[in-house]
Amino acid sequence: MTPADMKFVPGKYVENGERFITEKGLKGSSARLMPKGTIIYSSRAPIGYIAIANNDLATNQGFKSLVPYELRINEYMYYCLISRTNEIISRASGTTFKEISGSEFGLTVVPIPPLEEQKRIVAKIEELMPYVDKYDVAYSEVEELNKKFPEDMQKSILQYAIQGKLVEQREEDGTAEDLYKQIQEEKKKLIKEGKIKKTKELPEIIEDEIPFDIPENWKWVRLGDISKNIHYGYTASAQEKGNCKLLRITDIQNNSVEWESVPFCNVKDKDFETYGLNNRDIMIARTGGTIGKTYIVDSLNDRAVFASYLIRVIPVENINEVFLKKFMESPLYWVQLKAGSMGTGQPNVNGTTLSKLLLPLPPLEEQKRIVEELDKVLPYTNQLVK
């Protein structure tokens, strides 16, 4: 037996490890054949693996083996040594790895009751251990649930919000159908004025795509329908000096940007017209481990463009950009994004996929109330993490 073999011992008894030794090997080494009933205890790498030999066996030098004078005490000693392991480890020495020497191990103090009481103790331990094992499983499951609970609660609240169940609907808000018509009229005007480009018409929303019911005054729309533009960023190298800040994925941390630390680049005026950032713009990471993460540009005082691994969504004026970002944190957004991601080694999402994303649109005033309510409620879920 070696300590490595002990990782795979399922219970109290052990019969053999992966390797075997010959008679010649036994005679030509310090190894000894231990009788059935020996307690084998790993003394290094790590200390504390323990089992009772179910037949004669030998160990390597990674053990301190106990052959009791009275073999009938071995089961009691087995549990006794388990209970003393932390104390044994505290007396170990070594720099690369801890090891308990034979002399130190021999100084371990153990309480010995009469033999018949030992048997009762062992019987009671083995009666109770299955309950401990069940408790361990249950405890681990609860701990896992506790870890996931804050995140799951956030997802549930956001899902509730985009289903129209977080705040009341009010007749005076009007309908999302009217809002949608206003948005389309505004987009036509901007196209005519040359302020935005005409984009390819998005596919009509069909019944099979709709994942859940929404209030009567809401409307299912695509992200591209309520955006002025959705496009990739500017290809440039980050520099210490330049005429413009270059916002990168790495500059966005915990939904904020330290603009003072954002690097510079040099941008031509005509390119700045296309890639220049404005407050209210929504940035989306389009590749890698942060794919789909979003940030609303705010507190922007400098000239800035955004790097090519980001996608910008420019919402129309009569859409609440915070409501849009909250949608982009909801389960519905992530399900669609995952389905639309491309690439096997490294997932990637493009502007076309984003423009087709389905979202439930409430009237503008209700969008604002939803945002206000989420701002009140979601901080409590962050407290649950603590």
Residue-wise pLDDT tens digits, 326-378: 999 999 999 999 888 765 566 788 888 999 999 999 999 999 999 999 999 99
Q: Residue 111: how many CB atoms within 10 A of its CB?
A: 8
271 and 330 Cβ atoms separated by less than 8 Å: no
Same fold, 3-112 and 150-385: yes
- How would DSSP label each residue in 192-222? HTTSS---PPPPPP-GGG--S---TT-EEEE
273-287 burial by CB neighbour count: b if 16+ within 10 A, else e?
eebbbeebbbbbbbb
Confidence (pLDDT) at 348: 82
Cut 0.85: pTM above it: no
Query: Is 3-112 a CATH 3.90.220.20 domain?
Result: yes
Distance CA 366, CA 364 (A): 5
161-168: average pLDDT:
95
pLDDT band at residue 381 under the 50/70/90 scheme: confident
Give the tens place of pLDDT for each residue, 181-198: 999 999 999 999 998 988
CATH fold of 150-385: Adenine-n6-DNA-methyltransferase TaqI; Chain A, domain 2 (3.90.220)
How much of the chain, in percent, has pLDDT values that exceed 70?
98
The domain ranges of the chain are 3-112, 150-385
pLDDT band at residue 386 under the 50/70/90 scheme: low
Element (H, E) at 311: strand 310-315
174-179: average pLDDT:
97
Confidence (pLDDT) at 349: 85
pLDDT band at residue 385 under the 50/70/90 scheme: low
Distance CA 226, CA 355 (A): 9
279-302: average pLDDT:
90
Distance CA 235, CA 54 (A): 69
